[in-house]
Each structure stands twice: as C-alpha cells, then as structure tokens.
Amino acid sequence: MVVFEVVFWLSAGLLAYAQAGYPLLLAALARLARRSAAARSRDEKRPAVSLIVAAYDEEAVIAAKVANALALDYPRDRLEIVVACDGCSDGTAGAARRAGADLVLELERGGKIRAQDAAVAHARGDIVAFSDANAEWESTALAWLVGAFADPAVGYACGQVRFVNDGGTNQEGLYWRYEMAVRALESRLGSITAGNGAIYATRREAYIEVDPIMGHDLSFPFNMVKRGWRAIYVPAARATEKMVPSIEGEFARKRRMMSHTWPIVLRGGLLSPRGYPPLYALMIASHRVLRYGAPFLHVAALVASAVLVTTGPLYAIAFGLQVALLVAALLASSVPLRPLLVARYYVLTTASVAAGLWDWLRHGTQPGWEPAQGTR
C-alpha cells in the first residue's frame, strides 16, 4: 500500500503543480522582475520584413490573407509578402498573385516546414514573420511584433492569437486564455517555452532549419534559448483564427499536433538542459515535460486512488472526483452544458497527448498536413 500512496501523492502533486502551482510561482517571480515591454516599431526604425504564409490548397482563403497583409500598418516598401505553395493542387498560387503577393513559390509537396525554409531562402527581409493562411492580423500587429526586435537579445517573438467560434462545443478559447497568461509571465522572466503558428517572427540570422516533422511552435523557442537568444511573447501583436467547431475535432487536431511534438521532446533536444539557464530549465520541466506527462500522471493517480479507496476518506474523495470528471466528460456528448463541456474538453485534449505519442511510435509522422476541418 505504501507504494500506491507514494504514486498517488506524487502524481497528484505534480498535476496540481503543473496546472496551478507553476503559474503561481511565475506570478510571484514576475513581481520581482522588471522588464520593459516590446515597443511598437516607429517608421524610422522599421526594418525590412518578409511575411511568409505556407499554404496547402488554400484557394478559398489565400486572397483574404494577402489582403489582410497588405492592410497592415507597416511601410509597404519595407514589407514583402511571400506565399509558399506546398504542392498545391488547386488555384492557391494564382489567387495569391492576383491578390497582390510579392512572391509566390510553387513547390513540390514537402510539408509546412520545408515550404517555410524555401520561403526564407528567397525572402529579402531582415525579419522573417510567419502566419497561417486562415489567420487574420490586426492592422498594428506587425509593428508590435517587429518592435520586439529593438532588443538585440530577442531572436524570436510571437503574438497573441484569439480563437473565434460561431458555434459548436469546443472550449479551446478558455484553455488558450490560460495558456497566454502563463506565456506572458514566462516572457517577463526570460523566454517562453512554446509559440504559435498564427503570428510569430524571427531575425533572419536566428532562423533555424529543423526536421520537417518538427513544427516551429515548440522547436523554435527552446532552440533560440540554447543559441543565446530570447524568445518572447508580445500580447499587443494580435491575430484571430477560426476555431475547430467541436471538442472531438479539437481532439483530432491536438492528436496530430502531438505526433509532431513527441519527436521534438524525445529526440529533438528539448529534454537536454544543455544551454538552458536554470530558470528556463525549470520552465521547460514545469510547462512542457509535466504538461506532456499529464495523461500518464492522471492514470497513475486514478489507479492508485482506486487501490487505496477503502483506506481513508481522502483517497475515496480523490477517486470519486476523478470518476466524476470522466462521467461528466461522457455526459457532455448528450447534455451540452458548459461545465460538462469543459470536463470533456479537458479529458479529450489530455488524452490526445498520449494518442499522439501512440501514433508517432506506431507509424511515425509525415511532414505534410491537412487544414483542420471547420477552420477555413
């Protein structure tokens, strides 16, 4: 029984720390830190920027994306819009040219990362910025994002993406607000541990070519830190992106994402502390390693509390709460009340971490990608 007690308290403690203790620790440390916020880049200081959009069969949205880029509050003579078509079989390239893109690359199918690499190789900007084809940037977003590079220590900056949903059951917006709050604290203290694909940028000389199955969102920030750069979050640089309508669709999206994430974690260098300052190593362990270990910690806590359920009221309560969470997640499919939907979202997205690992171990991960259903 002692072994199960240790397993339960260790698992439950790590889960509580990862979800609540870590943000509270960051908040306490941030009160002691004073870093200046990123400034909006002024005209006389604005560097040349290449805004890169990697696109696979995005004919339906690419013209609107180019129009959105052209409407940015940034000097047109210092902004290059690059669309990299990753083996498109539709009219994406023609639509991008007609919309006013400065450079359209028609590439063989190689995946998003290789399309971005090719675009960077052809780009003229000192800063290379990246966006998804379905992401809409606010007019001042690029100026705020580029303003981060006034600090010579910054090699990577990502903005704030807000997920919009006209209906459906997905609760991603709730999670994402929590996640952005944590990243803001990490950024104040040093560097973030992950970014997002909707709005981010790097110095050209800091750009890294990574394995094509390893996305920039996770691989860039920690690799920047290992190379002596800061990777920061700029909340004033805002974009919106359409949310996957259903929780089940979000599970499928995150499962695919995690099949790209696990190679970074297990063989891409994230677990190696070499090059990490001590505080950043703590951030990686707390925000990344424990987050990806959550499904296994939940299973361990559930099994241990089930074994210990008759040995004391604390274990009985813990077991009952875990079962209640699972029951609530099951009921949400037929009774779509907000608390039940939140429970279903948490259970399925936590499970997606383990499902993504299973997919990668079973049949590997392909560099190509398909847009998530309902996001275009």
The model's pTM is 0.91
Checking if the pLDDT of 324 tops 70, the result is: yes
Question: pLDDT, tens digit, for every residue of 95-141?
Answer: 999 999 999 999 999 999 999 999 999 999 999 999 999 999 999 99
Q: pLDDT value at position 77? A: 94
pLDDT of residue 330: 96
pLDDT digits (tens, 9 = 90+) for 187-235: 999 999 999 999 999 999 999 999 998 889 999 999 999 999 999 999 9
- In this structure, what token pair is assigned to residue 287? 């925000």
Residue range 297-324: mean pLDDT, rounded: 96
Q: Which residue has the higher pLDDT, 119 or 41?
A: 119
- CA atoms within a 13 Å half-sphere pointing along the CA-CB vector of 17: 16
User: What percent of the chain is modeled with pLDDT above 70?
Assistant: 94
Q: Can you give the residue ranges of every domain in the chain?
A: 43-246
DSSP string, 314-368: HHHHHHHHHHHHHHHHHHTTTS--HHHHHHHHHHHHHHHHHHHHHHHHHH---S-
Q: Are 96 and 116 in contact (CB under 8 A)?
A: no
Quote the crossing angle between the two packed helices 338-363 and 172-189, to the nearest 10°: 70
46-78 per-position pLDDT tens digit: 899 999 999 999 999 999 999 999 999 999 999
At 36, the pLDDT band (50, 70, 90 cuts) reads low
pLDDT value at residue 96:
97
Eight-state DSSP code of residue 176: H
Domain 43-246: give its CATH architecture.
Answer: Alpha-Beta Complex (3.90)
Would you mind telling me the total number of residues written for the chain in this entry?
376
Q: Which long-range contacts (CB under 8 A, 24 or more apart) does 184-189 make?
A: 184/233, 184/235, 185/23, 185/26, 185/27, 185/29, 185/30, 186/26, 186/233, 186/283, 186/287, 187/232, 187/233, 188/30, 188/33, 188/35, 189/26, 189/29, 189/30, 189/33, 189/35, 189/279, 189/283
Q: What is the dihedral of CA 144, 145, 149, 155, to 10 degrees?
A: 160
Strands 49-55 and 230-242, bridge-based pairing = unpaired
Tokens standing for residue 42: 């002024």
What DSSP designation does 237 have?
E
- Pairing state between β 127-131 and 230-242: unpaired
Upper half-sphere CA count for residue 29 (Cβ side, 13 Å): 18
State the pLDDT at residue 252: 93
